[in-house]
């Protein structure tokens, strides 16, 4: 029970000591579907999803609007129930728990929202204090806890202000402090930065990263913004019309030019380093060469092969792409146009493929 903790005065302790082993499964979706009765018939918002989130990781779920992300995340804290399949969270089958049994589990799961959901009639400190009161913290311990949480999100100076006096980024940092109040082990972030501009987005993402790294809190972030995934997530699931169409380590998703047909349209649109259909058409207006996308996982090897193009009787032009960074490494995808004798180009593509994954792009 959260209220039985006795915070030591003056010691920054915004998180609960991590109780489980890092890497153990904390959220398991097993063949989960959720069907709604829509106006035009049944809508399968989540369609046979199986995935596991491990303790200590940042797991991103990305997809276009309507892909089923909100429905999925709401099943983690029991706000939504599956039509079939099971959702197990921190060892409890949340999909089958009564409201009464859900309550103690929910104190172990914090949530931040796109629109912050702060109480406008209460101060910043009041908002965080309210969350502690709701979680059953004794009043004598709340003041120190509020202070350490506001210190953690860098808002000690704003304690007495009201939400309307804060910027969007500051409001979301209060939202994070409130979500952390009862020392959750899991934090659910539902489009946490979608209402923010790019500079405040990075401010909020850096707080979320600290929540994960310094407090050991497992984070599930749903978003339609690739930037969020790139910057904080370790693993990602791509959702499309209710289904997980691709999942894995973020670096692999970004650095691999090959995607399932279903994931390709989302990934290509979201990653600016891949030419979309319009850009390919523009590239085609100025070059007749064979277009291939090559992963720069091993950038040195790819450069060496490109440098030897002349010796193969092939000339190349880089028509799209470059390097970018994920949370812990850099990656890149280049699109090159190759011209020369078809057999020479064919041999050259084989060499490129040995240096990095290669995919043909819109070749006729």
Ligand X SMILES: Nc1ncnc2c1ncn2[C@@H]1O[C@H](COP(=O)(O)OP(=O)(O)OP(=O)(O)O)[C@@H](O)[C@H]1O
Per CB under 6 A, contacts with ligand X among 50-79 are 63, 65-71
* Number of residues counted as binding ligand X (CB under 6 A): 12
Q: Tell me which residue of 220, 226, 227, 237 sits closest to 51, measured CA to CA.
A: 237
How many C-beta atoms lie closer than 10 Å to residue 182's C-beta? 23
In the complex with ligand X, the residue whose CB is nearer, 67 or 188, is 67
For residues 55 and 215, is the Cβ–Cβ distance under 8 A? no
In the complex with ligand X, the residue whose CB is nearer, 27 or 338, is 27
* Euclidean distance between CA atoms 131 and 117, whole angstroms: 12
Q: Which of 43, 102, 299, 344 binds ligand X (CB under 6 A)?
A: 43
Instruction: Assess 32 for contact with ligand X (CB under 6 A).
Output: no
CB of 44 to ligand X, least distance (A): 8
CB of 233 to ligand X, least distance (A): 16
For residues 335 and 293, is the Cβ–Cβ distance under 8 A? yes
For residues 33 and 46, is the Cβ–Cβ distance under 8 A? yes
In the complex with ligand X, the residue whose CB is nearer, 8 or 37, is 37
User: Which two tokens mark 118?
Assistant: 């702060």
Instruction: Assess 38 for contact with ligand X (CB under 6 A).
Output: yes
In the complex with ligand X, the residue whose CB is nearer, 112 or 306, is 112
Instruction: Assess 82 for contact with ligand X (CB under 6 A).
Output: no
In the complex with ligand X, the residue whose CB is nearer, 183 or 246, is 246
For residues 118 and 139, is the Cβ–Cβ distance under 8 A? no
- Sheet with strand 109-113: strands edge to edge: 109-113, 186-190, 218-223, 58-62, 235-240, 243-249
* Euclidean distance between CA atoms 187 and 183, whole angstroms: 10
Instruction: Assess 81 for contact with ligand X (CB under 6 A).
Output: no
In the complex with ligand X, the residue whose CB is nearer, 66 or 136, is 66
Binding site for ligand X (CB under 6 A): 36, 38, 43, 45, 63, 65-71
């Amino acid at each position: 029970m959260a209220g039985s903790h006795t915070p030591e005065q003056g010691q920054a302790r915004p998180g609960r000591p991590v109780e489980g082993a890092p890497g153990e499964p904390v959220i398991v979706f097993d063949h989960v579907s959720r069907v709604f009765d829509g106006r035009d018939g049944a809508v399968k918002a989540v369609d046979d999803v199986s995935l596991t989130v491990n303790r200590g990781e940042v797991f991103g779920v990305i997809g276009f609007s309507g892909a089923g992300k909100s429905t999925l995340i709401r099943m983690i804290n029991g706000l939504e129930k599956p039509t079939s399949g099971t959702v197990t969270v921190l060892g409890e089958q949340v999909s089958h728990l009564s409201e009464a049994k859900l309550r103690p589990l929910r104190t172990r799961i914090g949530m931040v929202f796109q629109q912050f959901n702060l109480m406008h009639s209460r101060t910043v400190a009041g908002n965080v204090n309210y969350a502690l009161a709701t979680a059953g913290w004794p009043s004598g311990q709340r003041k120190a806890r509020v202070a350490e949480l506001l210190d953690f999100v860098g808002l000690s100076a704003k304690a007495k202000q009201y939400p309307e006096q804060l910027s969007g980024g500051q409001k979301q940092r209060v939202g994070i402090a409130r979500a952390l109040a009862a020392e959750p082990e899991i934090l659910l972030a539902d489009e946490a930065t979608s209402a923010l501009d790019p500079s405040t987005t990075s401010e909020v993402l850096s707080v979320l990263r600290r929540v994960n790294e310094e407090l050991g809190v497992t984070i599930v972030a749903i978003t339609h913004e690739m930037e969020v995934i790139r910057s904080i997530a370790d693993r990602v699931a791509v959702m499309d019309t209710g289904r997980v169409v691709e999942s894995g380590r973020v670096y692999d998703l970004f650095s691999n030019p090959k995607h399932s047909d279903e994931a390709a349209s989302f990934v290509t649109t979201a990653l600016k380093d891949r030419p979309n259909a319009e850009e390919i058409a523009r590239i085609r207006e100025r070059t007749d060469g064979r277009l291939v996308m090559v992963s720069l996982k091993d950038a040195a090897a790819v450069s060496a092969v490109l440098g030897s193009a002349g010796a193969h009787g092939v000339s190349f032009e880089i028509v799209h792409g470059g390097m970018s960074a994920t949370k812990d490494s850099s990656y890149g995808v280049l699109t090159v146009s190759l011209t020369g004798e078809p057999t020479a180009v064919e041999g050259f593509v084989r060499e490129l493929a040995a240096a990095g994954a290669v995919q043909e792009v819109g070749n006729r």
